[in-house]
Every structure is written in C-alpha cells, then in structure tokens.
Amino acid sequence: MGIPQAQEPHDPRVLRLKAVLLAVWAAVAFVFFFFARDLQFVVAGWPLGYWMGAQGAVVVFIAIVVVYAAAMNRLVPEDSLPTEDDSPHV
C-alpha cells in the first residue's frame, strides 16, 4: 500500500474546491452543449450555443484556472504557518 508517511491526508477544503470546479467544468463541457440547441438566446449577435462553443467555454475554463489559483494561494499560506515543531534542527 505504500509508506504511511508518504500518504498525507488531503485537506477537505481543497477537495471541496476541486469537486466544485470539476462540477462547473462538467456542466459547461457536457450538460450545456447537450441542451445548446434548445437555448435560443442571442449573445453579442450570435446564438448562445454557437457563442459557448466558440468562445464561452474557453472563457469559463480560464476562469476555473484563475479561481483555483487564487483559492490555492489563499489556502497555502494558512497551512504553512510555522509551529513549534517546525523549528530548525541543529
């Protein structure tokens, strides 16, 4: 199974963030395009299905990466605060 010290438990906040962003990705990538023909909205002069396929999905995926990076930058410093056990060993 591996070395117990190498198997660190995952932070539940990070797992929740990954699950939410994965659900957003799946909704944009699969669910939205499945119903694209039924959505007859016009965005910037183009049908919504065409716009999401051409530009919208890419914008959403970039937004997912930006949200993940910002959230991880916020969470990592909280986890790396020095403790008494982290003192350098001489």
The contacts of residue 7 (CB under 8 Å, 6+ apart) are 1
Locate the domains of the chain by residue range: 20-78
15: closest CA among 75, 63, 77? 75
Tell me what pLDDT residue 35 has. Answer: 77
Flag residues of the chain having pLDDT under 50: none
Instruction: Outline where 1-90 has alpha helix (H).
Output: 12-26, 32-34, 48-51, 57-79
pLDDT digits (tens, 9 = 90+) for 23-33: 999 988 888 77
